[in-house]
A and B are shown apart, each in its own frame.
Chain A
């Protein structure tokens, strides 16, 4: 009985992959169309420098969106990632500017500080929302405020600056024109893709999103899986903080306001269902590209800031409507 329930909630991986590959192909086509459009209508879009720019510009959002994918797949949401990123950046900024450390130790300390801060915030989100079965929307809204306040408190609302030179080097380093920070993000995407598709843990996250009760009846501890998903999301917020610091060479307590919305948008545009259980991190990668290409291309075209914001909004709505039809036909 229980095994039957579980197999219903977790489609057989190979079949699932075909469907998700088709879905990703659709999003990929949309991205391709955008790229084609901007290449034709602007002079500089398809130049090596601009491609490097786009890769750099989507990195933070992509990192946050990878963690967000885990949370949305189990039917949750994490509104706190922007603030947690700022908090992690400030804590790491304090660590990296501590006197008495060489550059290497200082950087290592900062990386540890940022990831631990992110992990701790994510774990708190997960434990509270899973233990009391409360909507993560409201718990993470609380964390959004806690982390922002903590970032301001710890930093005295001052921008922290003058980091070791090597850290800055890392932030602007390129391999064949590809920013190293983007490669870090891409690595996270690949790890997430592997975990979600080829591990029991990953398949159970899909299962929880589809039918939590069935996973529980099959004898798995839903609680810990949920905590893990939120912890991963906090972890990626910590990584995003490191990328932010390396790129800009400062830690600002007002960094990342509204970043959670862009991360959610990347996940949703990437075809992951807000109700959980359906989607992929490859889609998220494509979604982050669509947002980044739009933001970049619309400036190159010379569109005003306000029009740019409106178009981004329209794209999000279109993506959700498409998702509705996708779900409808997939269930037939």
Chain B
């Protein structure tokens, strides 16, 4: 145990040396993402690394997490970045409350903090007495785009179900709310709404069972494309081609499904650019630009066959 602590201290020391050494010439940006097991963040990191190479006037330190619920490692990452004396921290919080306090510490240390992808909780920010802008997509608005496409297709009275993301996750909530906005606006009938934890296989199972319970389903709103793929497979094995599916994220695997009509639409929130754009904004502030304020909305776009 003691040995581990010594090793950890030594590692921190080395990181500290490395960090300050690099800070001499170019500004250093620490990028904190969520689970790199998620295609979305993997693409985002690739985008950020390409961006670093293209701009060439800053040094990128990127870290991710083991899984979506590994909050601890994000907090550790913030603390490590403070120790390393980075100029800016660009962070996609895994938990909208837990991250507020460590980020406050970073700001107090004079580091420019940009919050992107998932907004920090407004009450928690007020409680800690900090002002922090949010750079990111409107998940609720995006989900509503997809939901509206479905609503237009089905018309009033259309019977739909929602496949939700992880319960409690902010983007899962927002997307569910967006879908529900569409349900209300187009006077759709919501038969059931369940989580499949963002995962294909579980969505396949959960949706098959929903379809058994409600054979009259006409439309499905899936909170991400991985789950939409599971739904499409369930429809194929049930021999149903009369049910309309929409997803979210625009991952490459759904391209063919949208092209041949197995899916009606998905939503692109340009994850690859999102981190890169946030880094640009952070560097502006580092160079003496004005502080960011409010909600800097990033583009979202409905993707359909035509």
- A57-B205, A159-B39, A244-B201 given; A299·B229 CB < 8 A: no
Check if A250 sits within 8 Å of B199, measured CB to CB: no
Give the distance in Å from the alpha carbon of A162 to the alpha carbon of B260 in the complex.
13
Q: Does A29 contact B (CB under 8 A)?
A: no
List, in ascending order, chain B residues with CB within 8 A of A161's CB.
Answer: 252-253, 256
Q: Does B266 contact A (CB under 8 A)?
A: no
List, in ascending order, chain A residues with CB within 8 A of B206's CB.
Answer: 299
Shortest beta-carbon distance from A171 to chain B in Å: 8
Check if A53 sits within 8 Å of B209, measured CB to CB: yes
Check if A162 sits within 8 Å of B208, measured CB to CB: no
Shortest beta-carbon distance from A163 to chain B in Å: 11
List, in ascending order, chain B residues with CB within 8 A of A252's CB.
Answer: 199-201, 226
B-contacting residues, A119-136, CB 8 Å? none
Q: Which of B173-181, B182-190, B230-238, B283-291 lies at the interface?
A: B230-238
Q: Does B277 contact A (CB under 8 A)?
A: no
Check if A158 sits within 8 Å of B42, measured CB to CB: yes
Q: How large is the interface on B (under 10, 10 to 19, 20 to 34, 35 or more residues)?
A: 20 to 34
Q: How large is the interface on A (under 10, 10 to 19, 20 to 34, 35 or more residues)?
A: 35 or more
Select from chain A the residue with minimum beta-carbon distance to B208: A53
* In the complex, per-residue mask of A277-301: 1 if CB is within 8 Å of any chain B CB, else 0: 0000000000000000001100110
Check if B42 sits within 8 Å of A157, measured CB to CB: yes
Check if B37 sits within 8 Å of A253, measured CB to CB: yes
Q: Does B8 contact A (CB under 8 A)?
A: no
Q: Does B154 contact A (CB under 8 A)?
A: no
Select from chain B the residue with minimum beta-carbon distance to A172: B237
Q: Which of A8-16, A43-51, A184-192, A209-217 lies at the interface?
A: A43-51
Q: Does B12 contact A (CB under 8 A)?
A: no
Check if B199 sits within 8 Å of A255, measured CB to CB: yes
Q: Does A254 contact B (CB under 8 A)?
A: yes
Q: Does A261 contact B (CB under 8 A)?
A: no
Q: Does A247 contact B (CB under 8 A)?
A: yes
* In the complex, per-residue mask of A32-74: 1 if CB is within 8 Å of any chain B CB, else 0: 0000000000101001011001001100100000000000000
Q: Does A102 contact B (CB under 8 A)?
A: no
Check if B199 sits within 8 Å of A248, measured CB to CB: no
Check if A159 sits within 8 Å of B213, measured CB to CB: no
A299 in complex: contacting residue of B38, B209, B230, B256, CB < 8 Å: B209
List, in ascending order, chain A residues with CB within 8 A of B107's CB.
Answer: none
Give the distance in Å from the alpha carbon of A299 to the alpha carbon of B193 in the complex.
11
List, in ascending order, chain B residues with CB within 8 A of A60's CB.
Answer: 201
Check if B39 sits within 8 Å of A255, measured CB to CB: no
Select from chain B the residue with minimum beta-carbon distance to A57: B205
Give the distance in Å from the alpha carbon of A42 to the alpha carbon of B39 in the complex.
39
- A53-B208, A254-B38, A305-B167 given; A248·B213 CB < 8 A: no
Shortest beta-carbon distance from B178 to chain A in Å: 20
Judged by DSSP, the binding face of B is: helix
Shortest beta-carbon distance from A308 to chain B in Å: 9
List, in ascending order, chain A residues with CB within 8 A of B192's CB.
Answer: 302
Check if B201 sits within 8 Å of A305, measured CB to CB: no
Check if A157 sits within 8 Å of B36, measured CB to CB: yes
B-contacting residues, A203-253, CB 8 Å? 244, 247-250, 252-253
B199 in complex: contacting residue of A257, A299, A305, CB < 8 Å: A257
A-contacting residues, B147-206, CB 8 Å? 167, 192, 194-195, 199-201, 204-206
Shortest beta-carbon distance from A85 to chain B in Å: 10
Check if B229 sits within 8 Å of A247, measured CB to CB: no
Shortest beta-carbon distance from B116 to chain A in Å: 20
* In the complex, per-residue mask of A171-196: 1 if CB is within 8 Å of any chain B CB, else 0: 01000000000000000000000000
List, in ascending order, chain A residues with CB within 8 A of B256's CB.
Answer: 161-162
A-contacting residues, B203-244, CB 8 Å? 204-206, 208-210, 212-213, 215, 226, 229-230, 233, 236-238
List, in ascending order, chain A residues with CB within 8 A of B238's CB.
Answer: 49
A254 in complex: contacting residue of B37, B167, B194, B208, CB < 8 Å: B37
Check if B201 sits within 8 Å of A248, measured CB to CB: yes
- A50-B212, A53-B212, A300-B209 given; A248·B200 CB < 8 A: yes
Select from chain B the residue with minimum beta-carbon distance to A249: B233
B-contacting residues, A99-147, CB 8 Å? none
Q: Does A152 contact B (CB under 8 A)?
A: yes
Check if A255 sits within 8 Å of B209, measured CB to CB: no
Check if A157 sits within 8 Å of B208, measured CB to CB: no
A247 in complex: contacting residue of B167, B204, B251, CB < 8 Å: B204
Select from chain B the residue with minimum beta-carbon distance to A299: B209
List, in ascending order, chain B residues with CB within 8 A of A306's CB.
Answer: 167
Q: A56-B237, A250-B200, A254-B199 are in contact. List 11 more A-B contacts (CB 8 A).
A: A49-B238, A159-B200, A244-B201, A247-B237, A248-B200, A254-B38, A255-B201, A296-B212, A299-B213, A300-B212, A305-B195
**15 A–B pairs (Cβ distance < 8 Å), ordered by A:** A42-B213, A53-B208, A156-B42, A157-B36, A157-B39, A159-B229, A159-B251, A162-B256, A247-B233, A248-B201, A248-B229, A299-B206, A300-B213, A302-B192, A305-B195
Which residues from chain B sit less than 8 Å from chain A, CB to CB?
36-39, 42, 67, 167, 192, 194-195, 199-201, 204-206, 208-210, 212-213, 215, 226, 229-230, 233, 236-238, 251-253, 256
Which residues from chain A sit less than 8 Å from chain B, CB to CB?
42, 44, 47, 49-50, 53, 56-57, 60, 148, 152, 156-159, 161-162, 172, 244, 247-250, 252-257, 295-296, 299-300, 302, 305-306
The 8 closest A-B pairs by CB, nearest first: A157-B42, A299-B209, A161-B253, A172-B237, A50-B212, A300-B213, A159-B253, A53-B208
